[in-house]
Structure 1
Amino acid sequence: MIKAVARIIGYGLLAALVLLAVATAVLYTPSLSREAAVARYAAPGSRFLDLGEAGVAHVRVQGAAAAPPVVLLHGSNANLFTWQPWSDHLDGIRLITLDLPAHGLTGATPAGDYSRAGAVDFVAAVLDRLGVERAVIGGNSRGGAVAAAFAAQFPERVAGLLLVDASGLYTQAYLDSQEGGDDPALIYRLVTLPGVRHLITRLTPKFLIRDGLESAVVDPAVMTPERVTRYYDMIRMAGTRRATLARFGGALPPAVDADRLTMPTLIQWGAQDQFIPVSLAHLWHARLADSRLAIYERVGHLPMIEIPARSAADVQAFLDEIGWVAPRPAGATPGTAPAPLDEAEAARSGQ
């Protein structure tokens, strides 16, 4: 009897090991070298700025060099191509987008600082290298929190602020006061589980990335195969997954000091955002001295991807209102054409 039970247990363990081996073989996700990722995704206007211990920043600059600069920061696990839909609708500006540390083609950094404060310093270093003294700055999700923190730390450098479904006012007390919403995407649940989270450095199948992206929007059709593949390739760039775990492992940063944000601000939010509830939009609006609020029905966490023309039109109107656009020829209609390439970009892109 004892031998029979032992035999059953042994067969069970063997079967479990076989299943684990098969699952590992199926789900194993090899890293993509930085060189391969850069060759695949560097775009016209891409620049790579060596910031020493802060890493090599992937920055994309579009538009006339003399136009007023607008700096846009992507959200968690995203990349600068998040903003490409807006670039097709905004004009009269110099659009600057960048991959934050642990993201995109910037990826892991020698310093390993993936905190919000570190991201603020990183943005400041990039703008210093580009010679940008003052700009409108904005961001989506965590990028919005970084933009707000930058504006609070360097208000003299910020002409205006764009907050798109932005975090930054979260405190633990606020989180505890909120009723639970829909379950977060599987990928976000996994990275918080002890033991399991470290498997993400080896097992990051594309379906997890697709699930996370589709849960961020109302219409999953906007997450095209090309867009999903780009996110997938960026997250598996060598070193990025470990950097991502380090970023998620940090403590919740303090809320941004909204009292220091006196500059004109546009707040944009999807009413059906499952990641950051629309109540945060109203909290930002109540806390800021000079804010405008746009709520979009049937839109989730990514208005710039879900409704690019409409959300960009609101940005264009805001920039026109605060006078942060280049003079237009008589009779020109705002926001109807992409910003022109500057001479360096034109040379690189062959135009």
Structure 2
Amino acid sequence: MPGPVVPASSSTTPLPVLDTLPAPWPGEMVAVGDGEVFVRQIPWSGPVDGADDGAPRERALYVHGLGGASTNWTDLAALLRVRFDGWAVDLPGFGRSEPPAGHRYTIRGHARAVVDLLEHIAAQPGEAQGRPVHLLGNSLGGLVSLLVAARRPDRVASLTLISPAMPVYRVPPSFSRMLLLLLLPGVAGLAEKRMAGIAPEQHVRAMVDICFGDPARVPKERIDEAVEEMRDRAAQPWADRALVRSMRGLITSYLKVNGAWRMAERLTPPTLVIWGDRDRLVDPRLAPRLAAAVPGARLLVLEGVGHVAMLEAPEPTARAVLGMVEEPDAVPAGDTPSACR
């Protein structure tokens, strides 16, 4: 039975002033399952006033969307350093993460990598060692994060879903007929060849136009970074296969609508749903539906924002995340184990 929609609270905690855009955080390869993923680490800074005695120091994992990478979280993670040590992952086949042999790019496959990484993060020495980790996901990464939180609530302290790719009976208009053909045998290989022929500048411009509510607000420095990253990606032999096959896995999930929504109804970690009202990739009308389905979820709909709120509106997104974790009842969920395998 859907519950009432609770508006997200906005934290008044002082946040760092990003006078200049932070550079992508450094990272390293981390073993997960039968392969490795590249993970950027964003170190905790403590309160901006410098009085860090007794200040909360928790851990967070950021999971990007389809065609994205760990760099999508640069600005938001910089703001959330006041409370979190952060880790931002390149899912297998994306960013700098080479996929293991035979990787199938399914939602469950990505979820297994995220669970392994949560266990790695929780095992790191420090005051938060062994504790659940705050999990934030966007788009495809949001759907993956929801699956992880439903199957492994013992590992998730809180869940933030930014325009998660929730399946619906009607395939979104942004999924053209050509994309739906990816479900047919042999078509994915042709799509990979076509993707390889798109120039990095053209690819980035198309992504900005469809993902942002107001593309004109994207700083030139971020466009240049994205183009350079796309050039690096184009040199990786697995890049186009990862994008096309992950898209195929996402579309396949749309044929199994009820599963993800049933999992949403079972979520136990404190959950925040964030959506931009100009999202052209995932219908914003799903926002209140998802928030009502998740027990006790908070909802924030950002005016004029598109599909990637952490990039387009990092400060209100950060304040909503902190507003959730600062609430008295925002405590780690119970430790009932369950395998996400």
One fold, TM greater than 0.5?
Answer: yes
Structure 1 residues without counterparts, runs of 5 or longer: 1-41, 326-351
State the alpha-carbon separation in 2 of the partners of residues 188 and 212 from structure 1: 16
Which stretches of structure 1, 4 residues or longer, exceed 3 Å deviation after superposition? 42-45, 183-196, 322-325
Give the aligned partner of residue 20 of structure 1.
none
Select the residue among 100, 111, 114 that pairs with 2:91. Answer: 100
Provide Cα deviations, 1:137-163, integer angstroms capped at 9, x if missing partner: 120101000110000110121121101
State the alpha-carbon separation in 2 of the partners of residues 89 and 322 from structure 1: 22
CA contact (8 A) 2:132 2:155 kept: yes
Which protein is richer in helix relative to its size? 1
TM-score, structure 2 as length reference: 0.72
Pair 1:49-2:44 in alignment: no
Residues 1:261 and 1:43: Cα distance change in structure 2 (over 3 Å): same
CA contact (8 A) 1:185 1:212 kept: no
Residues 1:300 and 1:315: Cα distance change in structure 2 (over 3 Å): same
Deviation at 1:124, TM superposition (A): 1.4
What amino acid is the match of 1:208? H
What amino acid is the match of 1:81? T
What amino acid is the match of 2:39? V
Aligned residues: 276
Residues 1:185 and 1:246: Cα distance change in structure 2 (over 3 Å): closer
State the alpha-carbon separation in 2 of the partners of residues 185 and 84 from structure 1: 30
What amino acid is the match of 1:47? E
Give the aligned partner of residue 212 of structure 2.
217
Deviates more, 1:134-143 or 1:120-129: 120-129
Give the aligned partner of residue 14 of structure 2.
none
SS in 2 for 1:47: strand
CA contact (8 A) 1:47 1:60 kept: yes
Residues 1:87 and 1:304: Cα distance change in structure 2 (over 3 Å): same
* Residues 1-351 of structure 1 mapped to structure 2, 5 A cutoff: 44-51=25-32, 53=34, 55-64=35-44, 67-90=57-80, 91-130=82-121, 131=123, 133-168=131-166, 170-171=167-168, 174-175=169-170, 181=173, 183=174, 194=187, 196-200=190-194, 202-206=196-200, 207-221=202-216, 222=218, 224=220, 225-236=223-234, 237-250=236-249, 252-253=252-253, 254=256, 255-256=259-260, 257-321=263-327
CA contact (8 A) 1:191 1:200 kept: no
SS in 2 for 1:163: strand
Deviation at 1:127, TM superposition (A): 2.3
Residues 1:121 and 1:190: Cα distance change in structure 2 (over 3 Å): same
State the alpha-carbon separation in 2 of the partners of residues 75 and 230 from structure 1: 19
Provide Cα deviations, 1:230-284, integer angstroms capped at 9, x if missing partner: 4413542231112222223346223321222022111110001000011111111
CA contact (8 A) 1:186 1:211 kept: no
Structure 2 residues without counterparts, runs of 5 or longer: 1-22, 46-55, 124-129, 332-341
Deviation at 1:56, TM superposition (A): 1.8
What amino acid is the match of 1:62? I
CA contact (8 A) 1:155 1:260 kept: no
CA RMSD of aligned residues (A): 2.9
Deviation at 1:301, TM superposition (A): 0.4
Identity %: 25
TM-score, structure 1 as length reference: 0.70
Deviation at 1:223, TM superposition (A): 6.0
State the alpha-carbon separation in 2 of the partners of residues 243 and 165 from structure 1: 21
Give the aligned partner of residue 335 of structure 1.
none
State the alpha-carbon separation in 2 of the partners of residues 314 and 98 from structure 1: 22
Residues 1:79 and 1:159: Cα distance change in structure 2 (over 3 Å): same
Residues 1:184 and 1:223: Cα distance change in structure 2 (over 3 Å): farther
Deviates more, 1:126-135 or 1:276-285: 126-135
Deviation at 1:128, TM superposition (A): 2.3
CA contact (8 A) 1:214 1:223 kept: no
